[in-house]
Structure 1
Amino acid sequence: MSSTFTESGECDDEITLVFDNSNKLYASKNFLRYASPVFKVMFDHDWQETKENRVSLPGKKYDDFLEFLLCVHPRILKPITEKNVLRLVKIADEYQVTSIINKCKEVMMVLLENPIKQPNPNGCHYLHQAVWLRPCLRIVAKAHELGYDAVVKYAVKSIAKFGHILYNEGNTDPSAQDGSAYFGEPNPFYKEGDESLSDIMKDCMNMFKNLSFEIKYKILAERLLRYDGKSCLKYLM
């Protein structure tokens, strides 16, 4: 697998994929034709790429496209997981690879469901849930971009179950932007990998801020429907 797509000369009908940084991948033209309707149209017609056996991929990332090819290759079928799903889904959508699109949607739905099932560990500060919220925000942004309405709908419901204070800058006490006025002090030593809790929360807030008005409205409306009348949660709305 180590040399698949990265070394030239492994197939007779080889075509070169060229990226902005001049890195190159090598693939069978027939493999690409059967994997993607987009490549099929390209190779079945007398396009310049077909004549030159070379396809330029401006704006594409070498590592992401290699990951995509490894997931499509029938001998390899590299698993689609939480670590690569958002890197793969846009490429799969652009090249109309239905099998990868469907698998990516499945993985996204599972990721949206997992945080809801997570127990709150003893002693775990409420704001640590930002660690579970962040993937949901990433997914809803990508699903909305690609028009995956069912994933967006489920993501909205999932995000609405988290406290509003985790992602809406305008909804915390101005004297305590980390939410400590409501929930006590978060553990200053808590880290998720190399990131502090504060950095993760800021990331969540920035992602929410950058969502389209339509999606933000849906999330806030869902929270109102879910928690309206529950005064004990009034600071989370």
Structure 2
Amino acid sequence: METLSDLFRKSKLTDITIVVGEKELHFSKYPLMEASAVLTELIEESEDQSRLQLTDVEYDDLVLFLACLHPKQLLSITDENLERVATLADHFEHVGVLKKCEEYIVQQFEMKRDNKDGMYPCFFFHLRIAECCGLSEAVQIGMSSKKVQMAYYSSKSLGPSSQLKGYKGSDDFEELSLETKFEILRIRLEKAEEMINPKFPY
């Protein structure tokens, strides 16, 4: 059974060997250099421009990143690979793969959900990745979506017999910037006040 790393065998179409530790990946320079000034500089400054040694990345993460660019694969972004691919794309400032990650996150933010409060378990995970990787458009869409406006709120959850849901214990929420956390909590308080006093929206 073939694995993703099997895509990166040497062939007449590959013109660069990327070395991570003792492992090699054979690929094409064009999709790397066309969308990344960082990779362009690394390749051009290499003593042998057909060979690139990388010491600050994990092999498995690089395989996922390259698979997003490989014409035979064009790996789709999922929750399982999002953080690893987006982090490496941000590291290399690769516009194409970052855009792919951003489109996936925005899709998650805009997707209709069945749960009444409009939230979904990975909301803060997606928001954190968008913020960490400088995907400002995705952050803005997430922050302006109903998923923040209705964040863990419903009329029932504010009732005396109901247990309020909160953000405590969410590692992804805790890792957001103070600015983003403040804005989320401001919206949360505003929504709570509006539900308690519907005649006096804030």
Q: How does 1:169-208 map to 2 (within 5 A)?
A: 182-183=162-163, 205-208=170-173
After superposition, what is the alpha-carbon deviation per residue over 1:189-232, rounded to whole angstroms, capped at 9, x for unaligned?
xxxxxxxxxxxx99952332332221110101122333423128
Describe the superposition over 1:117-139 as per-residue Cα deviations: whole angstroms up to 9, x where unpaired.
22239xxxx8xx87x23x11112
The answer to whether the 8 Å contact 1:68/1:91 transfers is yes
Is 2:108 the partner of 1:119?
Answer: no
Please name the residue that 2:133 is paired with. Answer: 146
The alignment partner of 1:182 has SS state of coil
Work out the number of aligned pairs and report it: 187
Q: How does 1:87-236 map to 2 (within 5 A)?
A: 87-114=84-111, 117-120=112-115, 132-133=120-121, 135-157=122-144, 158-163=147-152, 182-183=162-163, 205-231=170-196
**RMSD across aligned positions (CA):** 3.5
Q: Which runs of 4+ in 1 moved over 4 A?
A: 201-204
2:81 is aligned, of 78, 84, 91, to 84
Matched, 1:15 2:17: yes
1:69 is matched with which residue? 66
Q: Cα distance 1:212–1:37, how it changes in 2: closer, same or farther (>3 A)?
A: closer
Greater helix fraction, Structure 1 or Structure 2: 1
Paired with 2:134 and 2:93, the residues of 1 have a C-alpha distance of: 14
- Unaligned 5+ segments in structure 2 are 155-159
Aligned to 1:32: 32
Measure how far apart 1:80 and its partner are: 2.3
- 1:193 paired residue number: none
Q: Percent identity?
A: 23
TM-score by length of 2: 0.72
| TM superposition shift of 1:100 | 1.9
Q: Secondary structure at the match of 1:15?
A: strand
Between 135-144 and 83-92, the greater mean CA deviation after superposition: 83-92
5+ unaligned residues in a row in structure 1: which ranges? Answer: 166-179, 185-200
2:54 is matched with 56
> TM (normalized to structure 1)?
0.63
CA distance in 2, matches of 1:75, 1:227: 50
2:7 paired with 1:4: yes
Question: Displacement, 1:30?
Answer: 4.9
Conserved? CA contact 2:43–2:49, under 8 Å? no
